[in-house]
Amino acid sequence: MAVAGAPEWIAAVDAFIIDMDGVLYRGAQAIPEAQPFLATLDRLGIPFMMATNNATQTPDDYVTKLDGMGIPIRPDQVFTSALATGDYLRANYDRGTSVYVVGMAALREAVYGDGYFVEAGADAELVVSGADFELVYETLRVACLAIRGGADYVATNADTTFPTPEGLVPGAGSLVAALVASGGKDPVVVGKPSPVMVERSLAQLGTTAERTVMLGDRLDTDILAGERAGCRTVLVTTGISSVEDIAATGIEPHWTIETLDLLEAALVAGRR
């Protein structure tokens, strides 16, 4: 029996690409419907990948975080904007390029970890930025000098805010705004809404965009990235974007739900 409001195409979905912040959890608190939803995907044999713009944690960090919430996943099911940025840099810059990173340990590992790039300061040929929860003025000063000195600028993502249990706090896009204002150069943005992360996830899943769902809580990143990659898109309103934001942004998901249990029920009904 079909679930009221569920689109017919949900029965033919082969895989999911899932954002995490605002979809599975908020801060350190799991969203109640997340664990049963993922367990149902496993039971139905529907593969999934996590694709997050958050460049502050590694896949192993996410495995530990989610395990502590009772949500078991594997490191190879997580693709972060830090990893996507590392891939982008290696595809577009020569070995030995000097880089200055504005960001946390996970981003630094993605950039410097294999020795492909050389760590530098204000004389860097390339500046890479992500969220930095320990940001100090000196970091912005060096990045600004490098950019003004001719360095290319690449950003993991441009999310202006980051969801926490206390509310929205400055995200990586806030640092981008500061560096654009001071450095005078717009970055290449690798994370969502660029389709790069979605396309890489599709390749790993081995599925087509037409039969894969991009599931997220943010219209201007998750849903737009899925749209640009040619995926079906589902917005869940447990995070950033609301139903009212759809009209305001003009970004239209294929389906909007309040909580993941409705999507879970639709998938179960579609497999009967």
Give the catalytic positions in this structure.
Answer: 19, 21
Contact between 163 and 24 (Cβ < 8 Å): no
Reading phi first (left if > 0) and then psi (alpha if -120 to 50, else beta), residue 103 is in left
CA–CA distance from 129 to each of 52, 94, 162, 229 (Å)? 16, 19, 15, 24
CA 249/CA 205 separation, integer angstroms: 30
CA 269/CA 263 separation, integer angstroms: 10
Q: For residue 162, which of 68, 75, 54 has the smallest C-alpha distance?
A: 54
First vs last C-alpha separation in the chain:
8
What is the CA 189 to chain-centroid distance, rounded? 12
Which residues are registered as beta bridge partners of 26? 29
CA–CA distance from 38 to each of 15, 145, 175, 261 (Å)? 12, 46, 33, 10
CA 269/CA 271 separation, integer angstroms: 5
Please work out, in degrees rounded to the nearest 5, the angle formed at the alpha carbon of residue 6 by the alpha carbons of 78 and 72. Answer: 25
User: What one-letter code names the amino acid at 23?
Assistant: V
* Residue with tokens 């020569």, as numbered in its chain: 94
CA 86/CA 265 separation, integer angstroms: 38
